Structure 1
Amino acid sequence: MKMTLDAWGRSVDGQLIDRDGSAGAQCWDLWADYAERAVGVPIGWTYTVNRPGHPDHFLASSMFLFFPTPRVGDLSQYFVRVGRHEPAQAGDVAVWARSWSYPDTHIAVATGPAVDGMLPCWTQNPGATRHESLTTAGLLGYLRPIALIKPAASLAPKRRKQAQMFMVFYKHGNGPGKPGWLVMGTPRRLVLSSQAAADDIARQLGIGSSFVTNESGWAKFLRAAGPA
């Protein structure tokens, strides 16, 4: 991360953020500002997706629906897509579909998990940027910065640590834009699809080490892990 969430939030609080100089301070502008200044995404990669004929053409929801490819770059280099049933983490980009609350969809930056159906966020439009809890009704899910994904091993109790067991993370482990956590040292191959599941397995098995790999490394670990 180029900037912490707290530092970025302080820098935009009360401001009308208009990154493209078009149509005023929209929710997209706040997402673009966060992606560029805090996460390090090239600003051109943050533009909404051009899909003529699709109802979400050029809307904020297109960032989630058509992830990982916006108009210019590959957002999977910076984010993974997370479903709405997973708890939000501070720094996640929350995306809403068309709904009663957001007829033209919405995008905001979460600062923690939802409580009683309300998600704390930095949000803009209507009005200037502010910290506010937004309804999860109509929520599609989140774009989670890869830089903020925590190693599951940090949650493992040392007293139950098992030798030769560790976990490998790859951002496309379950397909393009779908993260995977591979548990090494189990009798059969075990690939998990969510941070919550990885954390839970780490606690149960006492896994004491975890690291991030790339495509070629992931393929090698899969072969070493044996049959599914």
Structure 2
Amino acid sequence: MNILPIGLQHRLSVWLASRTVHLNTGSSYFPEQFLLGATFASRRALNVLSQHLSHPDDSTKDELENMMSIDLLDRYTRAAKECLTGDEEISINLPQIYDANLGDVWVTLGNSTAFTHPRQYEVLEWMTLKLCLKNSGVDAEEESFKDYRARIARGLMEGVHIKVDVEVDADVVYKITRGDETLLYDEGRRTLLVQFETPYFEPAHKMVSGRDPENGEPINDWSWRISDFDQLITKEKLDNEEMIS
């Protein structure tokens, strides 16, 4: 039985997830430098996305593939093809960014095979934390606590994937024009929810490629990608899961 209130459980899970990021990226990087980089990346990604949706070409596509997940880029590209004729100019800008704060931090630990071969794994979920464990092969009552603990330890090291929600307080300007005609215009200060994700590291230790000999801080040779804007992909996945169930 859980004796902690749901709100406290949520805060505790986010703290634990944040600690995972902190330990694997360095105290000097997360969250201050990460948030600063997130604001620049959000503005740049939206600028390049605007260019690509207005005038698709390989150079903007290549740059976007380095900044955004394939799912998110495909979603915007598909929407543009369905809704636009090809003569429109699209502009999504953040002319002024006032602040950025951490939202939820989502951590998945274990082998990614769990999501393609669910019968071979069990997935334990607690708030923003997810652990994928290889099935023990024996009935639950036959597995000793020692073996169960060892199975968890192995699962923790098999892989890691992290998503971080960033709440960007900014002026947001949307504009779609066709020639001299303005088809859509909207601007205002609001909170833009941007989600960043790491690659899926398997095994988990690949997240850190080395340590700085002077201060022991982690050395990372990978880049974050934007995986969602305003929970567009997240909501669609939830809707699809509800339809299937």
TM-score by length of 2: 0.19
The structure with higher relative contact order (CA 8 Å, sep 6+) is 2
Q: Report the TM-score when normalising by structure 1.
A: 0.20
Task: State the structure with more CA Rg.
Answer: 2
Whose strand proportion is higher, 1 or 2?
A: 2
Q: Which has the higher helix share?
A: 2
